[in-house]
A and B are shown apart, each in its own frame.
Chain A
Amino acid sequence: MNFRGFLRNDNRAGIRNHLLIFPTCMSASSTAKLIAGQLPGAVSFDNQVENQLSKEDVEQVERTLLGFATHPNVGAIVMVGFGKETISADSLAEQVRMSGKPVASLNMMECGGIKSVVAKGVQIGKQFEEELSLIQRVDIHVNELAIGIECGGSDTTSGLAANPAAGFASDLLIEDGGTTFLSETPELIGAEHVLANNAVNEEIGRQIIATVNKYEENLKKSGMDFRGAQPSPGNIQGGLSTIEEKSLGAIYKSGTAPIKGVLQYGERFKVKGHYLMNSPGYDIESITGMIAGGAQIIIFTTGRGTPVGSPIAPVVKVCGNPKMADIMKDNIDINAGKIITGEKSIEGVGRELYDYILKVASGEKTKAEIFGFQEFAINRVIS
């Protein structure tokens, strides 16, 4: 089976053809926003990284930024740097060049001030937009698709409807040879043994357990009661009383396909298959990590409803709560509440979701894209 996508010079498949105005640091963020504001087709993000805290933090931030810069949904890039940052615009641009896409690097200290940088950025951006408009979608096999699966604003319907439907869709893509990511390590606590049993082999099973244990250890080291953050106040209102209860519902989005490996936050997968990415439960940081890891599209299951999107990848909202699916209908793409009301089966919604994903991959816009939502946040290593 095929979808209609953009085949990049490095042979990766894009489902969008974005011009990305890319601030390499906080000092360049406002300027990047000003450039993107003058280019209606461009996307940008708010890079709030100022000072970096440790080697691990630097690596994680760099891995995430590089994942965005080389992402196949991005057709061309205008890098905006300040000139003093640790991760320079020039060095990122160099790596983008190697991926074969058009890239320009603007350095504020060299260009001389915000207005000059904005003028230059807009001028180059317009040229890039013209170039991008000439690239046509082509037939690409679905095995080139990678989906990141996220759940947020969970309630009791999440584990009963939206997550199993997402898991079913994940299994369908894996059967077709594609790639899916399960994420949100803290929301596996108490259910890690179930996932480990689903690993491709014992070694990966041990890695899954170790990843969850390490996360729990880090939480304890912070000296804080993790239960203040998980389950969130909204989860509790939605009927999820403990993290274990939340986790046991959350893992349904993994489906039945064996887990092939554990990826670090923002790490790019090398071989197609089903993975666990070690990411936080905070939705947007987790989504950002999976996109950096190569996901071209995100399935976001929810019970309570959420509007969020991402600058470079479509986010598909699947709501398991029939009441919220109606109340938040302008944000929800797929109503999995029909499973709760008995109108549809898990399999039925799973197939509907998979079909919708193929349409989105071929260009249909999700609700978050129509609203222009472009949330972004990097998970920082702070100890």
Chain B
Amino acid sequence: MADEKNPDPNRPAMPKPPMPAMPTPPAAAGMPKPPTPAAPGMPPPPPAPAMPAAPAGGMPKPPAAPAAPAAPAAATPAPAAPKPAPAAPAAPANPVNPAALKPQPPKSGVSAEPVKVEDPAVLSRRRDFVWHGVAGMLTLGAVAFGRFFFPRSLFEPRTSFTIGYPSDYGFGVDTKFQSTQRIWVCRNSQGLFVILAVCTHLGCTPDWLSTEGLFKCPCHGSVYDSEGKNFAGPAPMPMRRCDVRLDASGRIVVDTLKLYEVGKFNDGGPAGGAYLAV
């Protein structure tokens, strides 16, 4: 058995080679299970010298003397060919005196019962099962890890709020909510509208320059007119406007999540839209 360990016992495609010659029924008795190939590069051993019990092969230890005493009990019908297995080139040719070696029993084979050698196909299935389990756990962990970064609750400023009555605002741009709500309240002849103070280039807050009547972004130099229409710099479009409506008491309600882009600035009315006709 130990001799004919195939190079890769895990490969199910490789059937168990038939036991050649030497009908020694309890051959495997007391043998440790086939050791994992110690020398992977070793060519598969020639099938001829099926040493039934001598723990030769790729055993890391020097072959425990070919003599019969090496094999305990069950291996008594040891064949009379006690030369060391030629299939063990890796085994150092230790000039150990066989007599000096104690008849030391194989490590795991204290009992004389045959150690069951698993079918490679079964081992392979078992190993596949374990690996699939590991992969599954890692996948679950990765998903959980990813989900972990998306919090459920946010502690951010309200996105909908009231900013007082329409009569509070005159013509022009009012910046009093710029730092707290990031909006400008504007009024022209058409009505009242609220510009979201976010540059459409990369999201900085432009400055309102009242003397020039312009919004200028300090990050990359975009320039907007007093109604938020871009005309210089990298900004690709006018600044967006927030939804405005009047609540029951006549106050203006602003929603910074409901936004209107250019082309939709005339949408809506008192029930909610891009502007309030006041």
Partners in one complex: no
